Amino acid sequence: MATEVQESLPIDVADLAKAGALMVDVREQQEWDAGHIAGSIHLPLSELPNRWKELPDADSTVFICRSGGRSMAAAEAFAASGRSGCINLAGGVQSWVQASLPFDGTVV
């Protein structure tokens, strides 16, 4: 049974990260290399069909991209597969940086 995807603001996602949520950045390699949220893991959306089993179980899994579109697609796919606790970072890393939250590097 599919579960619903929650969309959360950066400040709420920062609290989830502190509480141990799994943070999954689905941007492509060059975007990740330019900068990312510390503690997140990298699993590009383009590789998701072949690598999805690499993600450990978690009560909450936050999906991240540049603006929120790709991460929503990833969150919806995981939720449809039955994974609970799927969350999309509203506005992506752009909104994260705009909220003055810690980011290693730059957004491209």
Q: Tell me: the pLDDT tens digits for 20-73?
A: 999 999 999 999 999 999 999 999 999 988 988 889 999 999 999 999 999 999
% of the chain residues with pLDDT over 70: 98
The dihedral over CA atoms of 37, 42, 45, 50, expressed in degrees to the nearest 10, equals -160
Strand order through the sheet with 22-25: 6-8, 86-89, 61-64, 22-25, 41-42
pTM of the predicted structure, to 2 decimals: 0.95
Q: Domains plus CATH for the chain?
A: 19-105 (3.40.250.10)
Q: How many residues does the chain have?
A: 108
Nearest to 72 by CA among 87, 57, 59, 58: 87
